[in-house]
Structure 1
């Protein structure tokens, strides 16, 4: 009887943490910010996607050609997988800048294991995912138990992981998918019933994360941690384990993204993994998808439509012959605008600021 009372008390204590954002929205409901925040973000992003497709069609780019739509679908998969991992960490008021490095390490490690060490694809895939778990654990332990800001830790491990791989495993900067590859080749360029393999893999990832966040107590507890970590600690939520787990999952998804991209392009370079491009994509997708940097807010559904938007933007810039500099500038401005809009729509409360920052 006492245990049941204790559980009910803890659940009651969770109410302020989970509802603080809703109270904030209600307090600004009559303002312009409140009205904009009340718009369903998923439909807003879909509207932008449709408008963008219309503009590209009028411009005569052939964006709606079946072959080009297949390319958009193929590129959406990796973006969605990596964006989902970034969103999960951001939901808990964290950030993982090392995802780009983990993706590069996983892709190049797979090629090295198969081509140099002679492992089969299944063995190599399992070892790459295991390596991703280890890298995620390193991030999580230092951040959670060492109490070092996630921004600093993952910025350091971003370069550390690439450097260690090149120092102890392979000095090659370019990794080419073996010609006899079947599994990874299908993951990147194969289809099932006309649906690109990248999208099918992303769909499985999205379904699992959505179930975890919406249908399990662990998911609700994790949201509470992101909303206000102090309140979560006082109610007995195992916030350290949950935050550690988020970095491990993010790392696994980053490793999976690297493998999928290896299958898409047929090769992978360390330079690409250590650049800002893939990281920009992941964080932009998470923020556009509705995951606030203030933590505790967001849905996987928003990440899905945001990934489609970024894929269409990238495809459109390619069709319009944007230069590399122009493409980078455009994506940087999109990320900056998304962060600024998030800060305007979801200002941090004083209580949340005291709970800690990235």
Structure 2
């Protein structure tokens, strides 16, 4: 089993010099089955978006609603990045919701309660998140207590500390500079008549970057004689991605412009995607989750990798805590309830395997957006809250069931 799930096919036997690499599979049905795991979530996302657009008479795809989805579910996307890495390594973290609450409470206590500058609150929240991650990483990596138990204890511990820091009362409001982290926009930098040209420029820049990256990946796979898609299919996929990205950029541009929190998300997604796909640390995470014994025999320092995974999760939970408190314009003792379930659901729906070793950052992001679109669509349709929970639970169950079925039939891992 490959430690890196981004490598969709194995290298064929070496041929004579000048051997032409494969472009596609001899059996298109086999190729389709092999790519079902990675492409199925994207197809499901498009289907769900179009379904709710039809059911709401286009309201779900209105510029204002699309912007609200980005603002409302940004914290889930941040948590899903860290949770995906934890799950790939074969662990789970049940404490992230409580960490979100505690870091937001620390920031509010300093900024609102003590009158400190907004950036002091942000720095303190991030510092607390790193300390929490180190605390939990120590028990998991060096003491050997299962992550489920450590983070379950952390869920209770950090929730109690949140009540203590806030003295069981809410604190609000934050200064305007702090609230702009989650509710601010960049617009008007390049002008535009009825739309924000800067947002469209950023969208076009993202499309160009994606295209260059895909062409470079394709050339590398051809150089190593790996199977690649036929050029027409490859170009079609690029055009489809470009159309989706530019449509999304247009909706933002015709609303309020580019959200500041989206810039934060883009930096995190790009950075962590590179880490998981191209760095030694990322390959070690996949190796540990895929086959722990083999990783140990290969010289991977499993303890240190696990330790830094939880430090990273604490940091990202703190980022989510800052974003959530900024959007809420305050800190509440009950903040972050069930956030860990949203992050776990995003990772599993996005293709992570329950046994570890499989999953990608983009997949987790689409999984989080899928949950967000479903929740938002049901709210627009005035679906009862209890039924919303039932539907989201069924979506998660079906996603995990697909993972189990895919492995039993010998699917791609």
Normalising to structure 2: TM-score of the pair?
0.72
Q: Report how far residue 252 of structure 1 moved.
A: 0.9
Cα separation, partners in 2 of 1:171 and 1:211, compared to 1, 3 Å: same
Question: Does structure 1 residue 245 correspond to structure 2 residue 242?
Answer: no
Cα separation, partners in 2 of 1:128 and 1:67, compared to 1, 3 Å: same
Q: Report how far residue 201 of structure 1 moved.
A: 0.9
Look up the SS of the partner of 1:269 in the other structure: coil
Look up the SS of the partner of 1:327 in the other structure: helix
Structure 1 residues 76-126: Cα deviation after superposition (integer angstroms, max 9, x where no partner): 422211111110101111111101110111111111111122221111111
| Other-structure match for 2:3 | 18
Q: Report how far residue 60 of structure 1 moved.
A: 3.1
Question: Does structure 1 residue 77 correspond to structure 2 residue 69?
Answer: no
Structure 1 residues 291-332: Cα deviation after superposition (integer angstroms, max 9, x where no partner): 212111111121222222122111101101123322222222
| Other-structure match for 1:95 | 92
Aligned partner (choices 386, 393, 396) of residue 335 of structure 1? 396
| Other-structure match for 2:176 | 181
Residues 287 and 339, structure 1, Cα contact 8 Å, conserved in 2: yes
Question: Does structure 1 residue 297 correspond to structure 2 residue 294?
Answer: no
Q: CA–CA distance in 1 between the matches of 2:33 and 2:77?
A: 24
Cα separation, partners in 2 of 1:348 and 1:79, compared to 1, 3 Å: farther
Question: Does structure 1 residue 119 correspond to structure 2 residue 104?
Answer: no
Q: Report how far residue 161 of structure 1 moved.
A: 0.8
Question: Does structure 1 residue 59 correspond to structure 2 residue 44?
Answer: no
| Other-structure match for 2:151 | 154
Cα separation, partners in 2 of 1:19 and 1:201, compared to 1, 3 Å: closer
Residues 139 and 154, structure 1, Cα contact 8 Å, conserved in 2: yes
Look up the SS of the partner of 1:294 in the other structure: coil
Q: CA–CA distance in 2 between the matches of 1:110 and 1:104?
A: 10
Aligned partner (choices 42, 49, 59) of residue 46 of structure 1? 42
Q: CA–CA distance in 2 between the matches of 1:46 and 1:17?
A: 22
Alignment of 1:19-38 (within 5 A): 38=34
Aligned length in residues: 324
Structure 1 residues 195-224: Cα deviation after superposition (integer angstroms, max 9, x where no partner): 212221111111111111112112112211
Alignment of 1:312-331 (within 5 A): 312-331=373-392
Look up the SS of the partner of 1:163 in the other structure: helix
| Other-structure match for 1:264 | 327
Residues 41 and 302, structure 1, Cα contact 8 Å, conserved in 2: no
| Other-structure match for 1:232 | 295
Residues 88 and 352, structure 2, Cα contact 8 Å, conserved in 1: yes
Look up the SS of the partner of 1:111 in the other structure: helix
Look up the SS of the partner of 1:140 in the other structure: helix
Structure 2, unaligned runs of 5 or more: 11-29, 188-256
Residues 177 and 263, structure 1, Cα contact 8 Å, conserved in 2: no
Cα separation, partners in 2 of 1:133 and 1:287, compared to 1, 3 Å: same
| Other-structure match for 1:11 | none
Bigger radius of gyration: 2
**Aligned-pair RMSD on alpha carbons?**
2.8
Cα separation, partners in 2 of 1:112 and 1:202, compared to 1, 3 Å: same
